[in-house]
Structures are given as structure tokens and as C-alpha cells.
Homo-oligomer: A and B are copies of this chain.
Amino acid sequence: MPAASTRVPQQQRSRATQARLLEATVDCLIEHGWSGTTTTVVAARAGVSRGAQLHHYPTKAALVTAAVDHLAERRAVELRTEADALPAGPRRLDRVVDLLAAAFTGPLFVAALELWVAARTDAELRDALVPLEARVGREMHRLTVELLGVDERRPGVREAVQATLDLLRGLGVANLLSDDTARRTALLGTWKRQLVTLLTPDGERH
């Protein structure tokens, strides 16, 4: 079947081209921000022809949305792998919060924030991003529940997980222009102790 044998390398090449474009997009967003990210700059950075770039991602909105989606999936896999390596026991919650805090101060957060803010005043980007934001938000919530190993059916657990993610988003913004590590570490130290109380049945205050 000669058709199949040429089709498979073709698909692999397409996937490799797409991956190079998406990585270059994220790098570009982090380095130059939304306004400095153009499809031409991204194609050059990825070493991909303009034609191939337009074939895979016809608009800037399509390209940047796919890039953040791609990075979010990769970060979720990395977070699971890192969390799998954590020892069980009472310190596990602390380490999971540290992993999440690193995610909210890392490249995915910075690239996503560039898009969220740009989308506020760009209708095409906004239409593409709103469903992605909702999906990534749900997946991040589910992943956090899984990594913490908690049962969301218990009262207060869902709210505690939500508050943790909203707090981490706020801390991510506070870290944008200056290194906020010392303050964040101290604050999360307090938050971890509260979280133990909120998440463990014996600590319930209601």
C-alpha cells in the first residue's frame, strides 16, 4: 500500500510543522507580547514558510489560540508527571501547591495573560478564546482536585480548590513586573495551613 506509506510521513511532517509553529508562537508572546507577535515573525522563528504557516493556521487568532491550547495540554501532562513523583504523606499538599504556583508564574500563564488582555478589545480573538478559557479553567480545576487527591463531593472542597486557583492567578499577576517570590512563598505558607483545615474532614468548621 504505497499510498499509506507516503501519507504517514506526510502527517508526521505536518504535526512537526504545527508543533514548531506553536512553540515559536508561545516564545514570541513571552518575548514580545501580543502586539509584537505577528504571523510573519512566528513563521520566520519556526523556520516554516509563510505558505505552510497560513495552511495550518490561517489567522493570528487561530495561531495564538492553538498555541495556548497546545501549551496548556503539555503543562497538564508535566504537572501530572511531577505530581506522580511526589511522596505521599502530609507534605504532599504543600508540594502540589508549589507545583501549581510555579505553573501560575511560568510561561503558560504569561502567554495566556497576554491573550486574555488582548482579547478584551479584539472581538475575533475574544470569540476564539472564551471557549478555550472555559475549557482550560475546567481542566485546571479537575487536575488540581486530582493532584490534591481530594473528594469534591465533600462540602467546602470545591470552593477551597477554586479559591486556591483564583489566589494563584492573582499571585501570578503580582509576579509579572517584579520578582514576588519571597512574599508569595510566605503567603502560600499560610494558605497551605488553611487549605489542610479546609480539605481534611477533621478540620471542617461548619
Contacts and interface: CB of A to CB of B under 8 A. Distances in A.
A35 interface: yes
Interface string A101-121: 000000000100110111111
Q: Indicate the member of A34, A121, A172 with the most B CB atoms within 10 Å.
A: A121
Contacts of A113: 117, 173
A80 to B, nearest CB: 23
B35 A177 contact: no
A122 B133 CA distance: 26
Given A170-B170, A171-B170, A130 B177 contact: yes
Contacts of A33: 117-118, 120-122
Interface stretch (A18-26, A61-69, A185-193): A185-193
Q: Using C-beta atoms within 8 Å of the partner chain, give the interface range for chain A.
A: 35 or more
A36 interface: yes
Given A31-B121, A35-B34, A194-B194, A116 B163 contact: no
A120 to B, nearest CB: 6
Nearest to A36: B121
6 contacts: A35-B118, A114-B117, A116-B176, A120-B177, A137-B174, A167-B167
B176 A163 contact: no
A162 interface: yes
Contacts of A35: 34-35, 118
Given A35-B34, A159-B190, A167-B167, A176 B121 contact: no
A81 interface: no
B191 A197 contact: no
A206 to B, nearest CB: 9
